[in-house]
Amino acid sequence: MRPIVEKADPGSSDSSAKVRGRGLTQETFYLRATRLARLSRGGDRHLTLVLEWEEGGHPFTIRDNFNQSLRASQRLLLEAGGRAHLLSASGRVLSQPATPEARFVSAFAEGPVKAALADLPPLRALLTVTSGAARCGRLALVDGGGKTRVSANLRELCPIDGDSIVLVTVGELRGYGGALRDLLSRLHACDAMPLAAGNLYRVMHPASMSYTARPSVEVRREDTAFDAANALIGAHLPIVRANEPGIVADIDTEFLHDYRIALRKIRSVLSLFKGVYAPEQTVALKARFAALMAPTGPLRDDDVYLLERRSFYAMVPDTMHGGLDRMFERVGQRRLAAWAGLADRLRGKGYIREIEALMDLFSRRKTLLPGPNADRMSQDLASELIRKRYRRIRRIAAGLTAGMPDDEVHALRVECKKLRYLIEFFGPMFQQDVLHDILKSLKKLQDSLGSFNDCVVQQAGLLAFLDDLGDEPRRLEIAQSIGALVTVLHQRQIVEHEKIVQAFAHFSGDGMRQAFRRLFHDGKDI
Amino acid sequence: MQIIACYSNKGGVGKTATAVNLAYAFAASGRRTLLCDLDPQGASGFYFRVKPSGKLTEARFFGDTDRVAKSIRGSDYDNLDILPANMAFRDFDIFLSRMKDGRSQLKKVLKSVKSDYDVALLDCPPNISMLSENVFRAADAVVVPLIPTTLSQRTFEQLQTFFRENNLQEKKIHAFFSMVQGVKNLHHDVIAEMTQAWPERFMQSQIPFASEIERMGLTRAPVLATSWQGPASQAYQALSDELDRRMNE
């Protein structure tokens, strides 16, 4: 068996994939380190398993975002030995110098890994999934003449806490398909899993939790409206809780964003499913969830400003950038204060007591009081609510003109959002292809409404910011920049208004009306 | 795909050792490399522990390009595959003489695997024959090892004459001195004389006479893989780098 020779860096760090360009199998598996020894058992007796480990180890870190986007896309981001390696289920391994201090992909050094990670949500920070000590090795099946028939690169990962695993990247050698099949069957016998199986984190840490901001709640047609509401709220409360640590640690803006969306959905269930809970309990619950939501507003507003920073700079000439610098400096300070306040609140006893009480209420459900509509079938209620909402939207849309006041457009936006939530809550009960068309049209409309609303809110926010400047020494400079921004935003608002009119024409047209009729009204007119 | 032929019209000059180590060096630099063992006497495949291909007769070699691709075997090294020798290659000349357009056949075979490789290295049999001519025509470079003796001068002249008579480009020839023994005056004199006579044809890199190259028969691996710090390895690496530069000029 030849020694492990450190391969010369061929410039492109993707050489292995290039070699495999002619259809040779290359695939990455993982198995518990304790099972590796079993690989030598069984298999073709003419082939001997040779296992070699390099001397010395090195620290490793597995990184992924909170959504576990990499795991979901069957990839593994491993930082080890000063390099970042991106392993994919196809066995392709990309690598480049690591940037351990980079929290976002955008801060990575340029290279093939950064390029391949361009599909990750840009606003989500990369977190440490696990870290520990790693060592590299190689295994081969060798014939009687000492020729390697198939080989695999090994990487043993021993996390600080958790179970050790071995990553096995198998590479077929041209002309030796039989040996490849032999190795694959040996791996199978050792319970090795392909990277695509997606539970590597859990194998290393059985307590590892996966997160999704959109829980799938199976509401069945025959479920009562009361059960459906309980299930929906019960599924979104853990999302609220899951995001608390990320907000407190200020990891990225999406923790607060997801936290707010989960709360908003809960509040939608309470306000849209009328009569499902007893009236006095509905009022009380609405107030309790509104109280959770209210303190999050200022931080989210500032987050949005800061996320829009680059586009604000692009809107005005360079000469006005000085004013923007100062403005964003102040927004940054304000944001820090808003975050500190919210973090304190989320850590506080009062908040914890309240959220735990709500969790308890919706998990035990004993003290939830059914209202007059509690026993209605979900499908009936859903169809009625959706029909009602669609009718209301069409009514407003009929009066949509260029001169419509901003607050009416805002009201439309709210109606559309409610409709969207309703369709999402009850979607699985209805015919999927028609539903897909409706959602597509609705989403287009909402995008325009959202852009319009952003323009309006940002103008108002900027003007309020101006009022709030007090004795700021560079007040004039900031005011000029804000003036320019407001002008551009106002022009954009006019353009977006036009788009809304067009999107509404489609959404309230005959085609959509028929789709709603078929899906939510047994073909009868809406 | 670049095609590099390792050729000598005289045996025992270190031709196969050169082909094996050049192939390894190209592969180690990240280029996908195919080493074709066209010399039934040679041992390129032996050095990589790849068994001769029983299935590949000469008729199939030229007639069934798909079968050629299937006969290729992965070596133990990244980016390096071997097309093992077939004993029937010794009858190539007879076979080729019967074929009308034999000269373009080799290129056709190589074309079938073209997209799989960046470099194809051909370890050629040691005589000027139809196959050799075929190789010279297909190759981008013909690497010629020569032991610095008076006899080599004659064989090198024969090779150049063959190129001229067959309208082949002489600039494809990249000769170098092999099995050089520093203690021999004769070697010094021949090297000086030949380099002066054909300055453009000779590379500066030389391969010394080294026991580690002889030991390749025992280790069955390129010296670059087993003792990369040794003088022979360094010489092969330098030769590979120089050839690379000359081909890209």
The listed range with the strongest mean pLDDT (B100-104, B116-120, B173-177) is: B173-177
Query: Above 60 in pLDDT, residue A118?
Result: yes
How far is Cα B249 from Cα B238, in angstroms, rounded to an integer?
17
The span from the CA of B188 to the CA of B178, in Å, is: 12
Query: Least CA distance to A147: which residue of chain B?
Result: B49
Total length of chain A: 526
pLDDT the model gives residue A17: 37
pLDDT of residue A1: 36
> Contact at 8 Å (CB) between A205 and A159?
yes
Q: What percent of chain A has pLDDT over 90?
A: 54
Of B76, B79, B115, the CB nearest to A148: B76
Q: Which two tokens stand for residue A510?
A: 């005959």
Kindly indicate the confidence band of residue A9, based on its pLDDT and cuts at 50, 70 and 90: very low
pLDDT in tens, A372-413: 999 998 888 888 889 888 888 888 877 777 667 777 888 889
The model's confidence at residue B88, banded by pLDDT at 50, 70 and 90, is: low
Least confident of A270-279, A322-331, B66-75: B66-75
Residue of chain A nearest B45, judged by CA positions: A147
Is residue A296 pLDDT above 50, yes or no? Answer: yes
Neighbour tally for B23: CB within 10 Å: 33
Residue range B55-72: mean pLDDT, rounded:
65
Segment B84-101 mean pLDDT: 56
Higher-confidence residue of B90 and A264: namely: A264
* Residue-level pLDDT at A18: 38
Classify residue A293 by burial, with Cβ atoms within 10 Å: 0-12, 13-18, 19+: middle
The dihedral built from the CA positions of residue A91, A92, A95 and A98, taken in this order, carries a sign that is negative
Q: Is there a contact between B28 and A7 if contact means CB atoms under 8 Å apart?
A: yes
CB contact, 8 Å: A46 with chain B?
Answer: no
Segment A25-34 shows an average pLDDT of 91
pLDDT number for residue A170: 93
- Residue A23 contacts B where some CB pair is shorter than 8 Å: no
User: Is pLDDT at B34 greater than 70 in this prediction?
Assistant: yes
- B65 at A interface, C-beta within 8 A: no
pLDDT score at B59: 55
Contact, B138 vs B107, CB < 8 A? yes
Does A16 or B147 have the greater pLDDT score? B147
Contact A9 B78 (CB under 8 A): no
Helix axes A378-398, A406-426, angle to 10 degrees: 160
pLDDT of B139 strictly over 80: yes
A298 closest CA partner among A342, A266, A362, A267:
A342
Question: By CA distance, what is A144's nearest residue in B?
Answer: B49
Q: How confident is the prediction for chain B on average, in pLDDT?
A: 84
Long-range CB contact pairs, A214-217, < 8 A, 24+: A215/A239, A217/A425
Is the pLDDT score of B96 beyond 60? Answer: no
Mutate to test the interface with A, among B49, B66, B71, B76 (most CBs of A within 10 A): B76
If we measure between CA atoms, which residue out of B78, B62, B85 comes closest to residue B28? B78
Residue A258 has pLDDT above 70, yes or no: yes
Q: What is the pLDDT of residues A472-501, one digit of tens each?
A: 788 888 888 889 999 999 999 888 888 888
Residue A523 confidence (pLDDT):
58
Whether A180 shows a pLDDT value over 70: the answer reads yes
Residue B213: pLDDT over 80:
yes
Q: Which of residues 215-244 of B touch A (CB under 8 A)?
A: 220-221, 225-226, 228
Helix (H) or strand (E) holding A409: helix A406-426
Question: Of chain A residues 144-163, which have a CB less than 8 A from chain B?
Answer: 145-148, 151
For residue A34, the SS3 value is helix
Tell me the CA distances in angstroms from A193 to A43, A115, A200, A424, one per residue in order.
18, 27, 9, 34
Say what the pLDDT of residue B113 is: 77
> What integer is the mean pLDDT of A283-300?
96
Encode pLDDT of A408-448 as tens digits.
Answer: 888 889 889 999 998 888 888 888 888 888 888 899 889 98
Long-range contacts of A309-313 (CB under 8 A, 24+ apart): A312/A485
Residue B66: what pLDDT? Answer: 67
B148-178: pLDDT as tens digits: 998 888 889 999 999 999 999 999 999 999 9
Kindly state the average pLDDT of the residues B66-81.
Answer: 85
At B90, is the pLDDT very low, low, confident or very high (cuts 50, 70, 90)? Answer: low
3-state SS, residue A31: strand
pLDDT at B97: 52
pLDDT reported for residue A42: 81
Q: What is the mean pLDDT of residues A21-44?
A: 84
Tokens 């990225």, located at residue:
A252
A348 and B CB contact within 8 Å: no
**pLDDT value, residue B55:** 58
**pLDDT for position A121:** 94
Query: CB contact, 8 Å: B188 with chain A?
Result: no
pLDDT per position as a tens digit, A351-383: 999 999 999 999 998 899 999 999 998 888 888
Residue A203 has pLDDT above 50, yes or no: yes
Give the distance, in angstroms, between the CA of residue B41 and the centroid of all CA atoms in the same chain.
13
Largest CA distance in chain B: 51
**Cα dihedral across residues A265, A241, A256, A67: positive or negative:** negative
pLDDT above 70 covers a percentage of chain B that reads: 84
Nearest CA in chain A to B68: A175
User: Among all residues of chain A, which has the CA nearest to that of B25?
Assistant: A8
Average pLDDT over residues A52-81: 94
Min mean pLDDT across A169-178, A263-272, B107-116, B200-209 is at: B107-116
Residues for chain B: how many in total? Answer: 249
